[in-house]
Amino acid sequence: MDIKIREHIRNNFKDSNPTEIKESIVESIASKDEVVLPGLGVFFEILWNSSDEIQQQNIVDNILKNI
């Protein structure tokens, strides 16, 4: 994935409030459009990198439970 996508997503959302972030995630998932997957991936990367080992394991467990 091109690093410019990461920068673009971060720049687009840097001044967003929690409601705007949530709405963007919900709308992206609801659209079922694969074009939005890189943006959601950037959000996931931010979540993953800011999580400790226990939180990361919870994320993995939750993904496995719901696949």
pLDDT per residue as tens digits for the range 15-37: 999 999 999 999 999 999 999 99
Q: Is the pLDDT of residue 1 over 90?
A: no
pLDDT band at 3 (very low <50, low <70, confident <90, very high): low
Distance CA 60, CA 19 (A): 25
Neighbouring residues of 21: CB distance < 8 A, sequence distance ≥ 6:
13, 43
> What angle (nearest 5°) sits at the alpha carbon of residue 20, between those of residues 11 and 47?
65
Domain ranges of the chain: 3-66
Q: What is the pLDDT of residues 36-56, one digit of tens each?
A: 999 999 999 999 999 999 999
Tell me the pTM. 0.85
